[in-house]
């Protein structure tokens, strides 16, 4: 890995000039009273007159506009520094309410008073993400689907209708366009060091946000629209994220030393790392992660450019090309179709962690949600900050100087390294299906514990015929399972009771414990997983409905509130359970056997693949029908028998043809 000490900036010469010098070239001084009135009303005319346009196509001339706006930003910055906090609140607080996070903008004002570079950069990152979210809410006053990318949002007709085209041009000069200052992107993607972001641009965005609030109020009064804020994204089941132990102050003290020695840390970015540690210690978990994510990206970009021998990509790209970001660094191939070497250097566990936290649709997608302002920063979970910081520590350690073995073997760091080396994906569809299977099996196991009427009580019900079909169906299932016996792990097949619940559960646990590669799953694999997961979801739904029905019917039976027809229906349900539990367990076994061999689907020719998918969809159709028939509204218990018989015939026929993945595995 190249030495991180030799990198003095990650901004290309052109971008460095635009951000750090261009807005300082013009030395004019503007009277703040022409830019903002005494009661805090923004004079947009005094700002928009500095937007310059190219004669050729009337598009924004970003270079001239930034040069011209530089002194305006300086005047605004000095104006804010001259205000007391109370005066600022009186003049401006009302105009931040449209963002749904007034406190954040008041905090940014505080930061500007001291202009500590790391805090300014952090304030700007939070401000831009919150502003983007608020602009999205405004877009939805008129439009339907809010654009995902900030540049598309700022270029939308909907926002131009509310704020005016030239006002949107002003915003694009500061954020959202690669031709402008592009402050949001250079910070969120880890290109800008703290010293490279002028505080006056943070002040200007704070000022512009207030001005947008004033324009919005005029629009809302005129149209009688009401601005509605979308709810924040909330993280559920945080226990799924639990991979690393809890970090304590002792660990963080060791990390402070490690930061000085790690090749993963660019020297110019060290203040960001230190600020992230401080934020964690102070329980400011959102701040910690906002500071940490761009630094993870910067460190990985250094690794990416070294291993793929493309040092030029460490810098911001020119405006005509895309930046090298997480998205590209985590892919299998580079844009020239060569194999990306970063995954082999990071190794599978680290790649799986990054995909889990950043990319998988069911994962926390933490960078997307944070950078687009979709998370309530005031209630950010410690668990996520802990996991990301712990993972970052392992990278700091792995890519430290050769002679720093002392850190890797440190009693505090070693447990983190061990956790990192055995990490498996939690949010890839393969991992989610494993979890679904085990949760469904847990639900089916509860059937045995449910209260039920005795055989003697059943005999008292007149007109109930003996039905042996349930036993016949269980025999058919046993035959299918015996056919699959040779493919099952040793000691999991019990010929005395092949459909035993205990044996099935042990088998599923063993199969779900097997490692299945999740990185870069081909499309056929993902398509099969979608169907398998739907089947499992339907099975779980059937189980939940059966449990609810048995409980309520038993209570009604004991309270003697069931009419004659309902009693018959209840007993038919009890009879159906004799085969419903085994058939659901059989399907779970089939799903899981297919799952552990899912990558073999890529070896099927198109015709066989089509047939295979068709078979899986027929099993899905069966489980969907079961959900309908076992619902409280339908209660069609006899029909579930005919349905199950047909499904077992299809499964048997497919198995006889040795067309399943488990059969093709051998």
Closest by CA to 246, choosing from 393, 428, 346, 400, is 393
Q: Are 264 and 402 in contact (CB under 8 A)?
A: no
Residue holding tokens 């704070």?
206
Look at residue 51 in the predicted model and tell me its pLDDT.
97
User: Which two structure tokens, joined as six digits, stand for 614?
Assistant: 């068709």
Cα separation, 9 vs 195, whole angstroms: 10
CA 587 – CA 497 distance, rounded (Å): 17
Which pLDDT score is estimated for 387?
97
% of the chain exceeding 90 in pLDDT: 73
pLDDT at 498: 61
Write the CB contacts of 465 (distance below 8 Å, at least 6 apart in sequence). Answer: none
> Which of 353, 97, 87, 107 is closest to 212 using CA atoms?
97
666 confidence band (pLDDT: 50, 70, 90): low
What value does the mean pLDDT take over residues 208-218?
Answer: 98
Beta bridge partners of 400: 262
Predicted confidence (pLDDT) at residue 2 exceeds the cutoff of 60? no
> Do residues 593 and 666 touch, judged by C-beta distance below 8 A?
no
pLDDT of residue 495 exceeding 60, the answer is no
Q: What is the pTM of this model?
A: 0.92
For residue 41, the model assigns a pLDDT of 94
Q: Please state, rounded to an integer, the average pLDDT across all residues of the chain.
A: 91
Backbone angles phi, psi at 31, to 5 degrees: -75, 120
Residue 576 pLDDT level (bands cut at 50, 70, 90): confident
- Comparing CA positions, the residue from 279, 262, 249 lying closest to residue 122 is 279
Among 249-258, 307-316, 458-467, 547-556, whose mean pLDDT is lowest? 458-467
Look-up of token digits 């070896």: 603
**In this predicted model, what pLDDT tens digit does every residue of 108-150 receive, in sequence order?**
999 999 989 999 999 999 999 999 999 999 999 999 999 999 9
Q: How confident is the model at residue 580 (pLDDT cuts 50, 70, 90)?
A: very high
- C-alpha 302: how far from its chain's center? 24
Does residue 457 register a pLDDT over 70? no
**583-609 mean pLDDT:** 94
HEC assignment per residue over 170-201 = HHHHHCCCCCCCCHHHHHHCCCCCHHHCCHHH
Residues 361-395 pLDDT 10s: 999 999 999 999 999 999 999 999 999 999 999 99
Q: How many H-runs (helices) and E-runs (strands) does the chain carry? A: 30, 0
pLDDT score recorded for residue 562: 81
Dmax over CA atoms of the chain, in Å, equals 100
Residue 501: other Cβ atoms inside 10 A:
16
Asked whether residue 407 carries a pLDDT value surpassing 80, the answer given is no
Confidence of residue 176 (pLDDT cuts 50, 70, 90): confident
DSSP character for 373? Answer: T
Q: Per-residue DSSP letters for 398-438? A: HTB-TT-HHHHT-TTTHHHHHHHHT---SSSHHHHHHHHHH
The pLDDT of residue 402 is above 80: no
**408, pLDDT greater than 70:** no
The whole-angstrom separation of Cα 53 and Cα 59 is 5
pLDDT of 351 over the 70 cut? yes
Mean pLDDT of 407-427: 87
Looking at residue 566, what is its pLDDT? 83
Residues 6+ apart with CB under 8 A from 408: 397, 398, 400, 414, 417
pLDDT of the residue at 403: 60
549-568: average pLDDT: 85
Average pLDDT over residues 491-517: 80
Q: Categorize the per-residue pLDDT at 461 as very low, low, confident or very high, splitting at 50, 70 and 90.
A: low
Which pLDDT belongs to residue 483?
83
Give the model's pLDDT for residue 204: 98
Confidence at residue 450, expressed as pLDDT on a 0 to 100 scale: 85
Instruction: Quick: pLDDT tens for 294-338.
Output: 999 999 999 999 999 999 889 887 776 778 889 899 999 988 889
User: Whose CA is closest to 525, among 627, 407, 619, 430?
Assistant: 430
Contacts for 592 with CB less than 8 Å, ≥ 6 apart: 434, 437, 507, 508, 511, 512
For 14-56, write each residue's pLDDT tens digit: 999 999 999 999 998 899 999 999 888 999 999 999 999 999 8
Asked whether the predicted pLDDT for residue 350 surpasses 70, the reply is yes
Q: Could you give the CA distance from residue 10 to residue 314 in angstroms, rounded to a whole number?
A: 6
Instruction: Give me the pLDDT at residue 458, please.
Output: 63
């Amino acid at each position: 890995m190249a030495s991180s000490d030799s990198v003095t900036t990650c901004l290309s010469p052109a971008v460095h000039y635009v951000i750090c010098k261009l807005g300082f070239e013009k030395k004019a001084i503007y009277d703040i009273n022409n830019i903002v009135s005494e009661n805090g009303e923004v004079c947009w005319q005094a700002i928009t007159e500095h937007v310059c346009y190219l004669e050729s196509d009337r598009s924004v001339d970003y270079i001239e506009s930034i040069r011209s706006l530089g002194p305006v930003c300086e005047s605004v910055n000095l104006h804010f520094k001259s205000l007391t906090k109370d005066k600022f609140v009186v003049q401006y607080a009302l105009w931040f309410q449209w963002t749904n996070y007034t406190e954040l903008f008041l905090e940014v004002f505080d930061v500007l008073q001291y202009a500590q570079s790391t805090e300014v950069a952090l304030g700007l990152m939070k401000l831009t993400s919150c502003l983007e979210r608020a602009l999205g809410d405004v877009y939805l006053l008129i439009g339907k689907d809010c654009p995902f990318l900030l540049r598309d949002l700022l270029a939308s007709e909907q926002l131009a209708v509310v704020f005016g085209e030239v006002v949107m041009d002003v915003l694009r000069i500061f954020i959202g366009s690669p031709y402008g200052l592009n402050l949001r992107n250079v910070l969120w993607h880890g290109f800008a060091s703290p010293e490279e972001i002028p505080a006056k641009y943070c002040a200007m965005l704070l000022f512009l946000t207030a001005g947008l609030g004033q324009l919005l109020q005029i629009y809302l009064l005129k149209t009688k629209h009401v601005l509605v804020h979308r709810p924040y994204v909330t993280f559920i089941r945080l226990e799924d994220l639990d991979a690393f132990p809890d970090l304590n102050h002792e660990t963080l003290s060791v990390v402070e030393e490690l930061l000085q020695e790690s090749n993963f840390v660019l020297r110019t970015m060290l203040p960001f790392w230190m600020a992230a540690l401080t934020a964690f210690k102070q329980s400011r978990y959102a701040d910690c992660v906002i500071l940490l994510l761009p630094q993870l990206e910067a460190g990985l970009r250094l690794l990416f450019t070294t291993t793929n021998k493309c040092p030029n990509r460490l810098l911001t790209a020119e405006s005509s090309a895309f930046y090298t970001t997480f998205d590209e660094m985590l892919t299998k191939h580079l844009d020239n179709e060569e194999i990306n070497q970063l995954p082999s250097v990071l190794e599978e566990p680290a790649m799986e962690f990054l995909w889990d936290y950043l990319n998988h649709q069911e994962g926390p997608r933490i960078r997307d949600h944070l950078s687009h302002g979709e998370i309530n920063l005031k209630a950010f979970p410690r668990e996520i900050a802990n996991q990301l910081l712990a993972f970052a520590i392992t990278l700091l350690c792995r890519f430290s100087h050769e002679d720093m073995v002392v850190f890797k073997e440190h009693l505090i760091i070693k447990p983190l390294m061990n956790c990192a080396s055995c990490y498996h994906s939690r949010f890839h569809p393969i991992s989610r299906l494993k979890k679904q299977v085990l949760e469904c099996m847990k639900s089916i196991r509860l059937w045995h514990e449910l209260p039920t009427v005795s055989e003697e009580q059943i005999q008292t019900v007149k007109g109930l015929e003996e039905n042996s079909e349930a036993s016949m169906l269980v025999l058919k299932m046993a035959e299918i399972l015996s056919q699959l016996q040779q493919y099952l792990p040793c000691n999991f097949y019990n010929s005395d009771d092949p459909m035993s619940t205990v044996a099935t559960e042990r088998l599923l646990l063993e199969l779900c414990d097997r490692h299945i590669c999740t990185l870069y799953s081909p499309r056929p694999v993902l398509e099969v997983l979608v169907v398998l997961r739907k089947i499992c979801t339907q099975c779980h739904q059937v189980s939940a409905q059966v449990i609810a029905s048995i409980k309520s019917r038993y209570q009604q039976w004991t309270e003697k509130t069931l009419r004659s027809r309902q009693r018959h229906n209840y007993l038919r349900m009890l009879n159906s359970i004799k085969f419903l539990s085994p058939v659901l367990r059989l399907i779970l076994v089939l799903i899981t056997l297919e799952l552990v061999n899912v990558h073999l689907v890529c070896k099927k020719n198109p015709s066989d693949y089509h047939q295979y998918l068709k078979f899986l969809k027929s099993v899905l159709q069966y489980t969907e029908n079961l959900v309908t028939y076992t619902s409280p509204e339908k209660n069609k218990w006899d029909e579930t028998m005919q349905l199950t018989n047909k499904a077992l015939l299809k499964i048997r026929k497919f198995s006889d043809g040795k067309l399943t993945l488990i059969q093709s595995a051998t």
